[in-house]
Amino acid sequence: MAKGKSFADKIAKAREQRGDTCQACGETIKPIMVVSPTESERTGALRFRRNFLKYCSCNEKEIFE
């Protein structure tokens, strides 16, 4: 009996095909969310800052270092 594709598999494949391509390397640009802790100016408590970045093999080392 063959295993059918799940809805999540179909969505993942559609996102890969739909994505923009990098002009330098020709690879698909993938969006990620980077969360970094920052200290609040008023209270001094930690807050988490969310940044949405797009990366491919060209800038992968810069983002993940």
pLDDT in tens, 46-61: 999 999 988 888 888 8
Entry pTM:
0.51
Show the 3-state SS of the chain: CCCCCCHHHHHHHHHHHHCCECCCCCCECEEEEEEEEEECCCCCCEEEEEEEEEECCCCHHHHHC
pLDDT in tens, 16-41: 666 678 888 888 888 889 899 999 88
Return the number of other C-beta atoms located less than 10 Å from residue 59's C-beta.
Answer: 15
**Domain segments of the chain: what residues?**
18-59
Task: Please return the burial class of 19, using the count of CB atoms within 10 Å of its CB with bins 0-12, 13-18 and 19+.
Answer: middle
